[in-house]
Copies of this chain bind each other. A is one copy, B any other.
């Protein structure tokens, strides 16, 4: 029994090692630098070991993405609970979200550009995927007025995601970043029309 559990523990550790190595490599050199050979060298095992833990490279990226969703939810929650008023909470949440996307672009990419095999928008989906949305919802709901809070949150989220993506790819100038965020938050803190 103890041998079995030790092996399982070691396996779990190595699996975590793979995910961490993939994430760090992606954050340092971008996802195009994360090849299975390179990753194997990084963890000091041979290539096939990766496939004894994950179905393929996509599954490893998905595992990294899941980590990202967990961390994003934590950071957004921290920002929300630290803010005082409802308007301030929305602004804080928005700033935390875009800051996350900007600081960890590779991680954000794994979450939203790659890793399509994650189940979203489902009440029975994994918790880590719902938590982040829940945080946004908590911040948006008090300001929803007559609008459906859930759908309004989705719309607000889309605004944040759009800003993050367009700024990251150089399609929007970075100087006005705070200004745009201010405008977006402003449009969602007015009374409903």
How far, in whole Å, are A136 and B46 apart by their CA atoms in the complex?
Answer: 52
Q: Does A159 contact B (CB under 8 A)?
A: yes
Judge whether B166 and A180 touch: CB under 8 Å: no
Q: Does A113 contact B (CB under 8 A)?
A: yes
Q: Does A128 contact B (CB under 8 A)?
A: no
Cβ of A127: which chain B residues have Cβ within 8 Å of it? none
Judge whether B184 and A159 touch: CB under 8 Å: yes
Q: Does A188 contact B (CB under 8 A)?
A: yes
Judge whether B171 and A163 touch: CB under 8 Å: no
A138-193 contacts to B (CB < 8 Å): 147-148, 151-152, 154-155, 157-163, 165-166, 169-173, 176, 179-180, 183-184, 186-190, 193
Which of A155, A160, A186 has the most C-beta atoms of chain B within 10 angstroms of its own C-beta?
Answer: A155
| A: contact size bracket | 35 or more
Smallest CB-CB separation from A121: which chain B residue?
Answer: B173
Return 17 A-B CB contacts under 8 Å, by A number.
Answer: A112-B165, A112-B166, A116-B170, A120-B172, A147-B183, A147-B186, A151-B176, A151-B179, A152-B183, A154-B176, A155-B183, A158-B159, A158-B166, A158-B172, A161-B162, A186-B193, A189-B193
Q: Which 6 residue pairs of A and B lie closest in terms of their CB atoms, listed nearest first? A: A162-B162, A158-B162, A161-B162, A120-B171, A158-B163, A159-B159
